[in-house]
């Protein structure tokens, strides 16, 4: 099929001149051209158009993946919710164009604070989120403080003779280990800490202590046994007695 028959003008317009210019030539390698165009559109669907960070759709998928990984491996993951303090005043005082510039420059500063394996997303409005896999509790506070200080040091030029500064409030929560939680619950727990940070005066950090959800080695093995009809020859006698006990036995019987 000729590429001219696919009506790709709209797709090319979405990518913009710079990205279109980087596509393989359609007349010499139409397959590579079309694949690069599809890849570019997929990238657009996962990015926030203003800040270039991950959008809400991508953020949700990353949260689900991390929750699954933590539930299976017992590893750690930290979610930081970051809100620009008094952002409405910036819009009201300087206009929405300046507000957009603040969002873009804050996003750039945040991107310099994270590792390649982390995910920075615009959660909505003036709120950002960072998902940090394998971030041990001993380092979580330091990471959040590095983010807070980077934004506090940022100077945003709004005209040739004037700069402004902004601060952020941060709330964080760790994913529950060995437990199949939900993204809604994880976000809610981090949001509660963000609310505490703002209520305490802003430009602050509040991180929930990591809950103790560890399990024993025997309990861990049981989590991954697909059915109770599996071979029980390697189970300890205590577990066999528990599983074989009648379901209607209750403590403190008459």
Instruction: Give the C-alpha separation, 26 to 30, whole Å.
Output: 4
Instruction: Give the C-alpha separation, 181 to 158, whole Å.
Output: 43
- Pick the catalytic residue from 17, 19, 66, 126: 126
Spatial neighbors of 47 by CB under 8 A, at least 6 apart, are 53, 54, 55, 58
Residue 201 burial (CB count, 10 A)? 9
Strand bridging mode 77-84 / 127-133: antiparallel
Residue 193 burial (CB count, 10 A)? 20
Instruction: Give the C-alpha separation, 168 to 60, whole Å.
Output: 22
Q: Which of 56, 84, 106, 79 is nearest to 171 (CA)?
A: 79
Question: In this structure, are residues 106 and 42 in contact, taking their beta carbons and an 8 Å threshold?
Answer: no
Residue whose pair of structure tokens reads 């024993």 in the numeric block: 216
Instruction: Look up 126 and say whether it is catalytic.
Output: yes
User: Could you list the active site residues?
Assistant: 126
């Amino acid at each position: 099929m000729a590429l001219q028959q696919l009506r790709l003008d709209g797709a090319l317009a979405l990518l913009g001149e710079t990205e279109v210019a980087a596509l393989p030539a359609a007349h010499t390698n139409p397959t590579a051209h079309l694949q690069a165009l599809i890849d570019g559109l997929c990238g657009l669907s996962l990015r926030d158009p203003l800040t270039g960070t991950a959008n809400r759709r991508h953020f949700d998928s990353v949260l689900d993946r991390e929750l699954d990984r933590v539930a299976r491996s017992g590893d750690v993951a930290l979610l930081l919710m970051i809100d620009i303090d008094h952002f409405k005043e910036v819009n009201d005082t300087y206009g929405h164009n300046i507000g957009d510039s603040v969002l873009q420059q804050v996003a750039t500063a945040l991107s310099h604070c994270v590792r390649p394996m982390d995910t920075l997303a615009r959660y909505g409005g003036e709120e950002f989120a960072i998902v940090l896999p394998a971030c041990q509790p001993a380092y979580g506070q330091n990471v959040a403080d590095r983010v807070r200080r980077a934004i506090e040091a940022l100077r945003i030029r709004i005209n040739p003779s004037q700069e402004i500064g902004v601060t952020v409030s941060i709330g964080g929560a760790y994913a529950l280990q060995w437990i199949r939680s939900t993204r809604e619950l994880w976000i809610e727990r981090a949001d509660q800490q963000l609310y505490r940070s703002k209520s305490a005066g802003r430009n602050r950090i509040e991180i929930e202590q990591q809950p103790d959800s560890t399990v024993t080695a025997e309990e861990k093995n049981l989590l991954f046994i697909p059915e109770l009809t599996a071979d029980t020859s390697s189970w300890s006698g205590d577990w066999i007695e528990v599983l074989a006990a009648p379901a209607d036995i209750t403590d403190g019987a008459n």
